[in-house]
Amino acid sequence: MIKIYKPTSPGRRNQTILISESNNKRTDKKILKKFSKSVHRKAGRSHGRISVYQKRVGAKRRYRVIDFKRNKFNIEAKVVSIDYDPNRTCDIALISYADGEKAYILRPNDLNVNDVVMSGEKLEAKVGNTMQMKNIPIGLPVHNIELYPNAGGKFVRSAGTAAYITAKEGKYVNVRMPSGEVRRFLGDCKATIGQLGRDEWKLVKLGKAGRNFHLGKRPKTRGKARSDSHPLAGSYSRRVGRHPVDKWGNLSKGKKTRRRKHTNKYIVKDRRVK
């Protein structure tokens, strides 16, 4: 749910926040410390000189360790709590296995406290279960998809996203990604059923520059607005007809960057083809 503030100040006038669906009571601090770690974010200045442009460290936060592999097979796990994660756009769920072990997972829509989830080869196709894609029915939304078997989920981990299995051909399955690309994966790769929640996060209005500052983003100056130290800088007569480039003269917009030609055979349909 998006909360709209009253215009009590210029910064509040267009500011909105997304109310998380996490529990009213946060996870125990001991549990949070056990399943999180401190991260040194590299940004800002080094010896007085800017080392990473247009970034800063931002507000202090601890990184929540997420179980992307889900490799405890055929053991029931109960959802203990739904928590907010400052490092990602979607909520996370704390699950407790029958043997007492706990872990954090990404929280899809319709996964609530006291629900039971499992991971295995042949399970019921319900929200939160992790299965091999060759055993998932066609047309179901999935997320946290593995690129290689037992390597951990790499694809479709942002809030509100979901991929769909469109076909199965031999040992491969065709998956339609959120970008529109249709890609082939090995059927032994695992995926979690369900669409990730918090899909309204894209509609949030920051309202003031300070919120961007706390997120680790510094002001950005366009290259052509500078007077020097940039290929696009200077008078208008010198930059007419120049392609957009970065500070070092490399093409910055529209340039093809893909170099993994040996994996092009796994792309069934390009995301740019409508």
Spell out the domains of the chain, with CATH numbers in brackets: 21-201 (2.30.30.30)
Residue with tokens 């907010």, as numbered in its chain: 84
pLDDT computed for residue 57 by the predictor: 86
Segment-wise mean pLDDT, segments of 10 residues, the chain, 274 residues = 92 90 66 86 81 86 94 94 92 94 95 94 92 95 96 96 96 96 96 94 93 91 82 73 83 83 92 82
* The amino acid at 164: Y
- Distance CA(93)–CA(85), nearest Å, equals 10
Which two three-digit tokens encode residue 143?
Answer: 């997320």
Q: If DSSP states are collapsed to H, E and C, what string results for 18-59?
A: ECCCCCCCCCCHHHHHHCEEECCCCCEEECCEEEECCECCCC
Query: What contacts 176, CB < 8 A, 6 or more positions away?
Result: 163, 164, 165, 166, 182
pLDDT given for residue 236 in this prediction: 66
**Distance, CA of 78 to CA of 94 (rounded, Å):** 8
Handedness of CA 167, 171, 175, 181 (dihedral sign): negative
Ranges assigned E (strand) in 170-234: 172-176, 182-186, 190-193
Let me know if 4 is exposed, middle or buried by CB neighbors in 10 A (0-12, 13-18, 19+): exposed
φ, ψ (nearest 5 deg) of residue 272: -85, -15
Give the pLDDT of residue 180: 95
Token digits of residue 72: 């405890």
- pLDDT score for 55: 87
Are the beta carbons of 32 and 44 closer than 8 angstroms?
no
